[in-house]
């Protein structure tokens, strides 16, 4: 997450740099990974269950509209 925000953390020399060469080189990849993980989380937790529940909801609405009983 720090690279996506433009912060470079050097653990060995204990430096925190803003806008260094490392950040320039890796920031595009870091931002892509962060947004990719966010998008895949949305798809997995929100969209997939909604799409899987859609046929059941449509079938129930269809039965109510035409008053079909089992």
What pLDDT does residue 68 have? 67
CB contact at 8 A, 1 and 34? yes
What pLDDT band is residue 61 in, cutting at 50, 70 and 90?
confident
Mean pLDDT of the chain: 85
| pLDDT one-digit tens code per residue, 40-54 | 999 999 999 999 999
Is the pTM higher than 0.75? no
Closest Cα partner for 26 from 6, 41, 42, 9?
A: 6
What pLDDT does residue 6 have? 79
H/E stretch holding 33 reads: helix 21-42
């Amino acid at each position: 997450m720090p690279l996506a925000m433009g912060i470079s953390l050097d653990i060995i020399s204990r430096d925190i740099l803003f806008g260094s060469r490392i950040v320039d080189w890796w920031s595009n990849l870091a931002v892509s990974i962060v947004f990719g993980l966010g998008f895949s989380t949305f798809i997995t937790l929100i969209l997939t269950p909604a799409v899987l529940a859609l046929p059941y909801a449509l079938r129930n609405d269809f039965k109510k509209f035409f008053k079909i009983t089992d």
